[in-house]
Amino acid sequence: MGIKKIIEVKNLNKNFPGVKALSDFSFDLRQKEIHCLVGENGAGKSTFVKILSGAYKPDSGTIYINNEEYLSLTPALARNIGIQTVYQEDILVPGISVAENIFLGSKMIETRYWINYSTLYKKAEELTNTYNIKIDVKKTYEELSPSDQQFTKILKALAQKPRVMILDEPTAAFSIKDIELVIRMVKAIKESGVAIIYITHHLDEVIELADRVTVLRDGQKIKTHTREEGLDPDNLANEMVGRPVDLFYKKKKHKIGETVFKVEDLRLKKDSEPINFSLRKGEILGFAGLKGSGRTEIVRAIFGADRKYSGKLYYRGKDITPANPRQAVERRISLLTEDKKANGLVLAMSVAQNITLVGLDKLGKFFINLRMEQKEAKKFVDRLSIKTPSLSQEVQYLSGGNQQKVVLAKWLFKGVDLIIVDEPTQGIDVSAKVEVYELLTGLTAEGKSMIMISSDMPELIAISDRVIVIRNYAISAELSGDQITEKNILQGFIGGSSAKVKG
């Protein structure tokens, strides 16, 4: 008797305008296994997930669920069969509690006329305790940290008692400490009898979790590996990109100029410590810190997006402190936020329109010169090697790495001196990361100055000329040269007398 296959797909094909997302793709998921799916952005992973969840219909191919044949699924049918998908994007409802979000749509805590809140909170707490997740189930969505929001999404899926769980980049919003909780949670879900499709760009998670790994490239299956055969991260990376990849980026050195930016006495709250630092021409200043340390809030305050208690920003000795993002842009400051899709792009607009969005004044005083827009957009598509079928392609159909390039092109078209980028390669595959690194270091070599927030330790160490560690909304350590090590950065995370290292 062979191993039972819960899901088997054969020769799936799916096309979008100008893009072949899946090509004769075959895959199977066995009972009580973790099957990891890896590949570059644009490889077809998300398309496959959306076919299984019923969001997309394949152009051709067959899906077998527990030996039942389907040509396509709907979201309701997928849920009824027992498939639960946890996407990167939010699926939670603002304004209601964790417990309400977990059991939303479930009849298990309803009476005939009203919801039994006592039972609801009790059941939610039982679920969190089962997986050792510490969340106040009475808190609302807005009160949760990004990691607790992600845990809530996973718990919501588990509350439906699924046979299959699909986890799409489940650790994207997590600190190093919380990633360990996710890993333990996923293992516990598997032991409870649920089969798991796990999608991630982090090969260390794959090695830790996978019973099998399937590599996708350009919409095609390259190979499926088993744990028994051995899982080699270098080999997986090579298969993902189709060529050898150096997983450790070697930054090209260039001359760093004089100090051009200064932040003086920035306080986010009345009782917070003052933040002071400078930035030189051509320099990448790394911001390190655990989630919730205040690193993102600091750069948002610099950009004028969040209110601050006090503080000034100077460029070449001139006070350019912005009161809001509009003033920041006028004063040649840009911010590439962590959530590029929500805050950096208009997904339904074309590549060209997104690139010129903040610089429309350059295209005409009263009317937009469309010919000029196409010409200018093409310059940046060529300069940044943005892979797109055409300038009119809707940006939502580009891969994550190319979407990131479009956001960067938007600010370069506007013409900025200070580039602030939050998590530049989050959710981006190995090969695309190298392209982004080349872009960032190339821009600073041209004289741009940059503040870069990153949770990726190798990235932070490889790219930064200096690193400032943020802890409790204050600077815990400042590192340069050989001081930029994992040990010193981690020491800055936890604080202590040895953390305040300065170059």
pLDDT in tens, 406-438: 988 888 888 889 999 998 887 676 667 788 888
Of 189 and 144, which is predicted with more confidence?
A: 189
- pLDDT score for 110: 58
CB-based contact 403:458 (threshold 8 Å) = no
In a domain, 337, yes or no: no
Q: What counts of helices (H) and strands (E) characterise the chain? A: 17, 20
Say whether pLDDT at 320 is over 50. yes
- CA 71, CA 61: separation in Å to the nearest integer? 7
- pLDDT score for 41: 67
Calculate what percentage of the chain has a pLDDT beyond 90.
47
Phi, psi values for residue 180, rounded to 5°? -60, -35
- pLDDT score for 257: 93
- pLDDT score for 179: 80
**Amino acid letter for position 29:** L
In a domain, 248, yes or no: no
- CA 66, CA 69: separation in Å to the nearest integer? 9
- Residues 6 or more apart whose Cβ sits within 8 Å of residue 291: 145, 146, 147, 173, 174, 175, 178, 455
- CA 369, CA 440: separation in Å to the nearest integer? 30
Neighbours of 320 (CB within 10 A): 18
Question: Which band of pLDDT confidence, cut at 50, 70 and 90, is reported for residue 119?
Answer: confident
CB-based contact 210:194 (threshold 8 Å) = no
Say if residue 145 is in the same domain as residue 97.
yes
- pLDDT score for 499: 46
Say if residue 197 is in the same domain as residue 112.
yes
Average the pLDDT over 159-181 and give the result: 82
Say whether pLDDT at 446 is over 70. yes
**What DSSP assignment string belongs to 226-245?**
ETTT---HHHHHHHHHTS--
- Which of the listed residues 415, 444, 472 is the one where a domain comes to its end? 415
Tens digit of each residue's pLDDT (9 = 90 or more) over 268-312: 888 888 999 999 999 999 999 876 688 999 999 999 999 898 999
Q: What is the DSSP letter of 363?
A: G
Question: Which band of pLDDT confidence, cut at 50, 70 and 90, is reported for residue 497?
Answer: very low
**Measured between alpha carbons, how far is residue 201 from residues 229, 240, 432 in Å?**
21, 10, 11
Say if residue 434 is in the same domain as residue 297.
yes
Say if residue 434 is in the same domain as residue 499.
yes
- pLDDT score for 331: 92
Mean pLDDT of the residues in the chain: 86
In a domain, 252, yes or no: no
Say if residue 183 is in the same domain as residue 82.
yes
Phi, psi values for residue 468, rounded to 5°? -105, 130
Say if residue 305 is in the same domain as residue 354.
no
**What DSSP assignment string belongs to 14-57?**
EEETTEEEEEEEEEEEETT-EEEEE--TTSSHHHHHHHHTTSS-
CB-based contact 189:130 (threshold 8 Å) = no
CB-based contact 438:211 (threshold 8 Å) = no
In a domain, 282, yes or no: yes
Tens digit of each residue's pLDDT (9 = 90 or more) over 183-214: 999 999 999 999 999 998 778 889 999 999 99
For 91, the token pair is 């699926």
Closest CA to 201 of 463, 456, 447: 456
Question: Which band of pLDDT confidence, cut at 50, 70 and 90, is reported for residue 93?
Answer: confident
Say if residue 167 is in the same domain as residue 225.
yes
Average the pLDDT over 77-102 and give the result: 87
Range of the domain at 87: 5-241
**Measured between alpha carbons, how far is residue 472 from residues 99, 123, 268, 275, 492 in Å?**
29, 34, 11, 11, 11
- pLDDT score for 412: 86
Say if residue 263 is in the same domain as residue 197.
no
In a domain, 388, yes or no: yes
Neighbours of 487 (CB within 10 A): 8
Say whether pLDDT at 247 is over 60. no
102: CATH = 3.40.50.300
CB-based contact 401:340 (threshold 8 Å) = no
Average the pLDDT over 473-500 and give the result: 77
For 207, the token pair is 């090695």
Tens digit of each residue's pLDDT (9 = 90 or more) over 62-83: 999 999 999 999 999 999 999 9
Say whether pLDDT at 496 is over 50. no
Of 319 and 148, which is predicted with more confidence?
A: 319
Say if residue 122 is in the same domain as residue 229.
yes
Say whether pLDDT at 19 is over 90. no
Tens digit of each residue's pLDDT (9 = 90 or more) over 334-369: 998 877 666 778 888 999 999 998 888 888 777 888
- Which of the listed residues 365, 400, 415 is the one where a domain comes to its end? 415
End-to-end Cα, the chain, rounded Å:
66
Phi, psi values for residue 196, rounded to 5°? -130, 130
- Which of the listed residues 174, 206, 241 is the one where a domain comes to its end? 241
Say whether pLDDT at 392 is over 50. yes
Phi, psi values for residue 453, rounded to 5°? -90, 135
Question: Which band of pLDDT confidence, cut at 50, 70 and 90, is reported for residue 498?
Answer: very low
In a domain, 450, yes or no: yes
β-sheet with 164-168: strand ranges across: 83-86, 164-168, 195-199, 34-38, 212-217, 220-226
What 3-state DSSP class applies to 471? strand
**Measured between alpha carbons, how far is residue 280 from residues 192, 284, 448, 449, 466 in Å?**
54, 8, 9, 7, 10
CB-based contact 463:452 (threshold 8 Å) = yes
Of 39 and 267, which is predicted with more confidence?
A: 267
**Measured between alpha carbons, how far is residue 414 from residues 53, 341, 377, 410 in Å?**
40, 19, 12, 6
For 311, the token pair is 């503080």
In a domain, 247, yes or no: no
Say if residue 86 is in the same domain as residue 214.
yes
In a domain, 341, yes or no: no
Say if residue 406 is in the same domain as residue 432.
no
Number of domains present in the structure of the chain:
3
Calculate what percentage of the chain has a pLDDT beyond 70.
91
The runs of H, that is alpha helices, within 344-453 are 351-355, 370-383, 400-414, 430-445
Q: How far is CA 247 from the centre of its chain?
A: 19
Say if residue 439 is in the same domain as residue 384.
no
Q: How would you class 381 by CB atoms within 10 Å of its CB: exposed for 0-12, middle for 13-18, buried for 19 or more? A: buried
- Residues 6 or more apart whose Cβ sits within 8 Å of residue 67: none
